[in-house]
Chains A and B, each alone.
Chain A
Amino acid sequence: MVQKSGTKQLMREIKRHRSVYVLLAVPFVYYIIFKYIPIFNGQIAFKDYMALDGVLGSSWIGFEHFRTFINSYYFVELLRNTLMYSFGKLVFSLPLAIILAIAIYESNRPHLRKIVQTLAYLPHFLSWVIMYGILLALLAPGDGILNDIIKMFGGKPIDFLTNTDAFPWIVILSDAWKEMGWSAIIFIAALMGIDPSLFEAALVEGANSWQRVRYITLPSIRPVILIVVLLRLGTILDAGFNQIFMLYSTPVLSVADIIDTWVYRQGLLEFQFGLATAVGLFKGVIGMFLILGSNRLVKRFGGNPLF
């Protein structure tokens, strides 16, 4: 009886807010078609997939694809590189985005704020193909701008893009440069939600800018930072295929090859879709456990969990 009235109430709510629910329908359908239905096809991770036999008709082979991936000659290296780039981007890009957001928020020159904001967002809209061209112009050992400067001061040119020591930094820093402005948006939104009276009170109490940031701004946006970190953990094994694919070359494969580039070569180019799916599933499961684990940790330490 209680359940029936609950359903009735839900229907009433839907009817009452139908315009919102209509808006919700588009992403809902998107998720069903592109996210949920393909889950069924995920079974080819456990099958010797033959296109003519289809998903259902292909024969089961158990965990063979998972074994192939884990026993791959480069498995440890792939996992290491993937985690290195994921955590590297998290550690560098996130604080930079927070700092940028706070700087923009704290700025009391509206024109400068708008210019900085626009310039910081701009790289997000450039594809990695274009970014590669820019990086080549900046970093090429022969005539890159940075190497020209190094040479001007009597230094030896550095082959940033083909040197295994330099390459990881190029990946992490170029990603930070490209995405910092875009990532800052969510923090700027969170900053906008802070009660201005807190700042006014702090001013009256004689707090300087740094103290206001430390004792008001950062604690206020802590829940958003936690949520962003939690969500990033869910995709920790996605280290940025597009970027690496554009930037890497044979001399730096030892530090550049990540799980996704391996899947591209071994799975897609070699027509091993079952293997590619198995790796996708592997990544998804790891991501899910990371989200669940970290969410529980956040709960335990009294933070605002994701769910």
Chain B
Amino acid sequence: MKRTCTVCIALVALLSLVSLPLFSQGTADQAKASGPTTIELWYGAAITEAGPPPADWVGFQIIKDKLNIELKLTALPSNESDQDVKVQAAAAANNLPDLFMVRRDVLTRLVPQGLVAPVDDLYEKMPIRTAKHYDEVSRSHARFNGKTYGLADPGSITKNEGLLVRKDWLDKLGLAVPKTTDELLAVMRAFTFDDPDGNGKHDTYGYGAFQEINNYEAWPGRRLEPIFGAFGVDGTWNMTASNAGLNILKPEFFDAMSLLKQMADEGIIDPNWLAYKKDDFRAAWKQGRFGIMREQNAAFAATANYAPFDKNFPDGEWIIIDPPTGPKGHASIGPYTAGFRIYAISAKAVKEGKKDKIAELLEWMASDEGYYLLGWGVEGVNYTKDANGIPVAANLPNPDLAFSAPGGQTVTQLRNMVFYNGDIELYARYPKYITATSKKEMSALDVLRVMQTKKWTPAVGSDTLPIPNADLKRFYEQGLSEFITGKRSLTRENWNKWIDEFKRLGGQDWNDKGVAFAKENNLLN
């Protein structure tokens, strides 16, 4: 019996070894004879709550007939971390798709592995697309050691956020629009303690936020940048030639932290802010929990997003205000960069001879036919054009199939691959509308235009600077949050000690590398 067991174990081990190439080395190269070239595309969905394009989507057939390409689509997860894990897991198995959307941080790890191909030669093969999508800033966004490893398409619109305040609350309490940090604090206190909604309960707060961080807007992140902007330390990096470096190392950062600590201690920032996720935050302002926030134009003013607030508070009104000015005259909504979505081509696809076909596909997407088909669907089915030639969801035989309706949204899932934030897109995406309850005229585009006029900090390229390792990142974020929650006492002495430890752990090195990179790539203002 013992021997039988030994034989069985040996057999299992042998089977494991024999089967290994199947499981550990990815799929074998595709055998290609004739017929259409298969291109596997992992895309970022334009509307994450809607499904993928249906199997009978007309686009598949057009692409097959005109380009001889069999397009296989896979939507990436909507959460960025999940996207990264999916792409990196495929990369680890050398099984990346032919064409895929990827964040720059991940690309920095794939390039040294030799898993993605340079794309410098593609620009001249795609003249229409290159003219609309790729300028020098875009090309340098994904450049490593002199070669560009990803097609950086225009991403989110820059400066599309603003500092908003409840005007109806200001009016009710007889307050003026705050212009300085002191005035902002006074308004926050009034919103918290003077019952601005008049319901007799202590259930409102001054400021609302949540922790939304990325590599150029480090902790506490985007939602609190107007506070840090008042001290000239908004964003991870200072991108001025005279004072370049990590903002956390600037003396003014301590002052900004002190103000945030004061907001937390006085209870004038929604105390849930450290526990909120994005959806909780957005539900909270729609329920009237706070009266000041930094929010994105469409998340605030697009039809579906504004509707719950409109229903809950028909007399409610948010206005976009200037960022508050700090003691030394600084003011900023936050740092802005040129937003990009990178599409990379796997080295495997190039090896299989698919590079030119990918260029053909992308160029066709940028043509009028591809642009309207991917952007809005089929004319007469998913959209019509108004007198100005703008696609609109009107006069359709089946309104459920309109590009903005649930039935039609699926056919526009690839629109981020063709949109470049041109006027047609903006007018179509953000039409004027009348709100259902209060009958106000709203337009996310008008909101955007106002937001863009406010004071921002130029930080183009700051999202390409080196990123810290996970331990240093944790030290940074945990330390700052502990100063705010009171676990660490926020005194000059403690702060300096903590900064020294941060530098010792690699913070100084991170700062020096970042400054050197910014200088080398002419990113400083």
Q: Which residues of A contact B (CB under 8 A)?
A: 3, 6-7, 10, 32-33, 36-41, 49-52, 54-55, 72-74, 136, 140-143, 157, 159, 161-164, 249-251, 253-254, 257, 262, 265-266, 268-271, 273
Considering the complex, which residues of chain B in the window 273-291 have a beta carbon less than 8 Å from any beta carbon of chain A? 274-275, 280, 289
Q: A52-B94, A164-B487, A257-B474 are in contact. Are A271 and B274 (CB under 8 A)?
A: no
Bound complex: CA A66 to CA B170 (Å): 59
Interface membership of B231, Cβ < 8 A: no
Which listed residue (A6, A136, A163, A265) contacts B470, Cβ 8 A? Answer: A265
11 pairs from A and B in contact (CB 8 Å cutoff): A10-B1, A40-B17, A74-B471, A142-B270, A159-B271, A249-B274, A250-B480, A254-B478, A270-B470, A271-B106, A271-B109
B contact residues around A257 at 8 Å (CB):
474
Q: A144's closest neighbor in chain B, by CB?
A: B272
- Distance of B191 from chain A, by nearest CB (Å): 14
Bound complex: CA A79 to CA B135 (Å): 49
Among B80-88, B176-184, B253-261, B370-378, which stretch is in contact with chain A? B80-88
Among B18-26, B58-66, B119-127, B433-441, which stretch is in contact with chain A? B18-26
Interface membership of B249, Cβ < 8 A: no
5 tightest CB-CB pairs across the interface, nearest first? A271-B109, A251-B481, A250-B481, A141-B271, A266-B470
Which listed residue (B15, B289, B477) contacts A142, Cβ 8 A? Answer: B289
A40 lies within 8 A of B478 (CB): no
Bound complex: CA A213 to CA B252 (Å): 66
A contact residues around B16 at 8 Å (CB):
32, 36-37, 39-40
Q: A52-B94, A140-B275, A141-B272 are in contact. Are A37 and B20 (CB under 8 A)?
A: yes
Q: A40-B16, A40-B24, A251-B482 are in contact. Are A162 and B474 (CB under 8 A)?
A: no
B84 lies within 8 A of A136 (CB): no
B477 lies within 8 A of A253 (CB): yes
B471 lies within 8 A of A266 (CB): yes
Bound complex: CA A269 to CA B84 (Å): 7
- Distance of A156 from chain B, by nearest CB (Å): 10
Bitwise interface map of B from 62 to 97 toward A, beta carbon under 8 Å scored 1, else 0: 000000000000000000010011001101111000
A51 lies within 8 A of B113 (CB): yes
Q: A54-B25, A143-B203, A271-B109 are in contact. Are A163 and B485 (CB under 8 A)?
A: yes
A136 lies within 8 A of B275 (CB): yes
B211 lies within 8 A of A40 (CB): no
A contact residues around B473 at 8 Å (CB):
265
Considering the complex, which residues of chain B in the window 479-494 have a beta carbon less than 8 Å from any beta carbon of chain A? 480-482, 484-485, 487
A contact residues around B91 at 8 Å (CB):
51, 271
A250 lies within 8 A of B219 (CB): yes
Interface membership of B366, Cβ < 8 A: no
Interface magnitude class on chain B? 35 or more
Interface membership of B115, Cβ < 8 A: yes
- Which residue of B24, B114, B275, B473 has the most chain A CB atoms within 10 A of its CB atom? B275
Bound complex: CA A254 to CA B1 (Å): 52
Q: A11's closest neighbor in chain B, by CB?
A: B4
A6 lies within 8 A of B92 (CB): no
Bound complex: CA A262 to CA B81 (Å): 14
A273 lies within 8 A of B92 (CB): yes
A38 lies within 8 A of B482 (CB): no
Interface membership of B347, Cβ < 8 A: yes
A250 lies within 8 A of B211 (CB): yes
Q: A133's closest neighbor in chain B, by CB?
A: B280
Bound complex: CA A16 to CA B64 (Å): 56
A contact residues around B131 at 8 Å (CB):
none
- Distance of A18 from chain B, by nearest CB (Å): 17
Bound complex: CA A265 to CA B24 (Å): 23
Bound complex: CA A52 to CA B348 (Å): 10
A72 lies within 8 A of B115 (CB): no
A72 lies within 8 A of B274 (CB): no
Q: B272's closest neighbor in chain A, by CB?
A: A142
- Distance of A14 from chain B, by nearest CB (Å): 11
A251 lies within 8 A of B270 (CB): no
Considering the complex, which residues of chain B in the window 1-56 have a beta carbon less than 8 Å from any beta carbon of chain A? 1, 3-4, 12-13, 15-17, 19-20, 23-25
A271 lies within 8 A of B88 (CB): yes
Bound complex: CA A4 to CA B20 (Å): 32
Q: A157-B271, A159-B271 are in contact. Are A38 and B469 (CB under 8 A)?
A: no
B94 lies within 8 A of A140 (CB): no
- Which residue of A49, A249, A257, A273 has the most chain B CB atoms within 10 A of its CB atom? A249
- Distance of A184 from chain B, by nearest CB (Å): 31
B470 lies within 8 A of A38 (CB): no
B contact residues around A268 at 8 Å (CB):
85, 88-89
Q: B506's closest neighbor in chain A, by CB?
A: A73
Bound complex: CA A143 to CA B203 (Å): 8
Interface membership of B505, Cβ < 8 A: yes
A162 lies within 8 A of B478 (CB): no
Interface membership of B475, Cβ < 8 A: yes
A contact residues around B270 at 8 Å (CB):
142
Interface membership of B110, Cβ < 8 A: yes
B contact residues around A262 at 8 Å (CB):
470
Q: A164-B487, A269-B84, A269-B85 are in contact. Are A55 and B471 (CB under 8 A)?
A: no
- Which residue of B106, B272, B484 has the most chain A CB atoms within 10 A of its CB atom? B272
B474 lies within 8 A of A143 (CB): no
- Distance of B411 from chain A, by nearest CB (Å): 29
Which listed residue (B20, B24, B92, B505) contacts A271, Cβ 8 A? Answer: B92
A251 lies within 8 A of B485 (CB): yes
B92 lies within 8 A of A73 (CB): no
A37 lies within 8 A of B113 (CB): no
- Distance of B97 from chain A, by nearest CB (Å): 14
Interface membership of B205, Cβ < 8 A: yes
B94 lies within 8 A of A51 (CB): yes
- Distance of A178 from chain B, by nearest CB (Å): 19
B1 lies within 8 A of A251 (CB): no
Bound complex: CA A55 to CA B23 (Å): 11
Bound complex: CA A7 to CA B3 (Å): 9
- Distance of A40 from chain B, by nearest CB (Å): 5
- Distance of B487 from chain A, by nearest CB (Å): 6
A159 lies within 8 A of B475 (CB): no
- Distance of A154 from chain B, by nearest CB (Å): 13
A55 lies within 8 A of B271 (CB): no
- Distance of A114 from chain B, by nearest CB (Å): 36
B4 lies within 8 A of A32 (CB): no
B505 lies within 8 A of A73 (CB): yes
B347 lies within 8 A of A52 (CB): yes
B contact residues around A164 at 8 Å (CB):
487
Q: A40-B17, A73-B475, A142-B270 are in contact. Are A159 and B485 (CB under 8 A)?
A: yes
B contact residues around A50 at 8 Å (CB):
113-114
B contact residues around A270 at 8 Å (CB):
109, 469-470
Q: B474's closest neighbor in chain A, by CB?
A: A253
Considering the complex, which residues of chain B in the window 335-357 have a beta carbon less than 8 Å from any beta carbon of chain A? 347
A contact residues around B12 at 8 Å (CB):
32, 36
Q: B478's closest neighbor in chain A, by CB?
A: A253
- Given contacts A32-B12, A52-B114, list 13 more A-B pairs with CB under 8 A: A10-B1, A40-B17, A51-B115, A72-B471, A162-B275, A251-B485, A253-B477, A266-B470, A268-B85, A269-B85, A269-B470, A270-B469, A271-B106
